Every structure is written in C-alpha cells, then in structure tokens.
Amino acid sequence: MNRRGPHYPADAGLCICATGKYTIYDPDTIDGAVKPLIGGVSVTVAQGYTKCAACVVDDHSIITADAGVSRAAKNAGMDVLDIAPGYIALDGYGYGFIGGASFKINSNVIAFTGTLDEHPDKERIMRFLAEHGQKAVFLTPEPIFDIGGAICLSALP
C-alpha cells in the first residue's frame, strides 16, 4: 500500500511511534515503503494515528490515553502511563492526543505545546516523567493542544 491523501487512513502512512527500542504501528495503515525500515521490537496495533496517540518518554516508556496502544505496549514489556482521554485541544475535533502535542527535544527533555494545568492527570504525568529522568518544557502558556506532532531536527544540549 503506497497511498497518500488528506483523509484517514491515507493521511496516516507515516504515523509510527518509534521510541528507540520499540516501534509501535498499525501494519494496515503505514505506507508500504516504510515497512522495510521498521526497526527494534515491533508492536502492532489497530490505531493508525499511533504517534499521535503516544508521547514517547524514553526507549521503554510512553504516555497514552489509547487503550489498545497501552495494552499492546504493556504486552511488549513497555512502561506505560495511562491517562484520561481528552483535555488536549485539536481544532475541528472534540479533543486531541498527547503524542500530537509533545515531542522529544533531546534524550531527557520533552516539549509540550502548552501547559498541563487543565489536565486531570497533570501530577501523574509529571511524576512519570521525573521517574524516567525527563524534564518537561511548556512551549506556550496556553492549555496543551495537538499540532499533529513534531520532531526536533537538531539536538539541543
């Protein structure tokens, strides 16, 4: 399948959650050209927007509100923090996802698009990050919002 388009599932062909050790993806959704490039421990799920659904914490850990992603990741041996769905804004939709609202800046810093002040799991998220040696950076003073994801092209110290 090498299809691309503006609507699901064609818009999710590159939506893969790679932690370094694990690669979480929907084999029915990802672009065929990407499949041979998948490395690490494969964790297959039925969620096409896998990267959007999970915040990568470290090589072994994620945060997600998606029960299917959580279950598969835990079964593969990952450490998963399950959070309440919602509380993350996404224009045009009822709510967004934590993976689409966060990204790694370097090995121990995670950027969030906005604050977690209105998220009911804020304290649990902050504790989970600290337990994994991660620091949170909030890029705006707004409540957290989903931008579809981002990657840092140059590592910061």
Q: What percent of the chain has pLDDT over 90?
A: 80
Asked if residue 155 belongs to a domain, the reply is no
The domain of 14 spans 10-138
Domain assignment of residue 156, yes or no: no
- Burial code (b: 16+ CB inside 10 Å, e: under 16) for 78-116 equals bebbbbebebbbbeeeeebbbbbbbbbbeeebbbbbbbb
Contacts of 94 (CB under 8 A, 6+ apart): 86
Q: For the chain, how long is the longest CA-to-CA vector?
A: 42
Confidence of residue 9 (pLDDT cuts 50, 70, 90): confident
Q: Which two tokens stand for residue 47?
A: 């969620």
Domain membership of residue 72 (yes or no) is: yes
CATH number at residue 20: 3.75.10.10
pTM of the full structure: 0.94
- Tell me the per-residue pLDDT of 54-111, one tens digit each, with 9 for 90 and over: 999 999 999 999 999 999 999 999 999 999 999 999 999 999 999 999 999 999 999 9
Q: What is the pLDDT of residues 30-48, one digit of tens each?
A: 998 888 999 899 999 999 9
**What are residue 7's phi and psi, to 5 degrees?**
-125, 155
What sign does the dihedral 40-149-82-10 (CA atoms) show? Answer: negative
Q: What total number of domains does the chain contain?
A: 1
pLDDT of residue 108: 95
Residue 3, in any domain of the structure: no
| Predicted confidence (pLDDT) per residue in 99-132, tens digit | 999 999 999 999 999 999 999 999 999 999 999 9
Element (H, E) at 61: strand 61-64
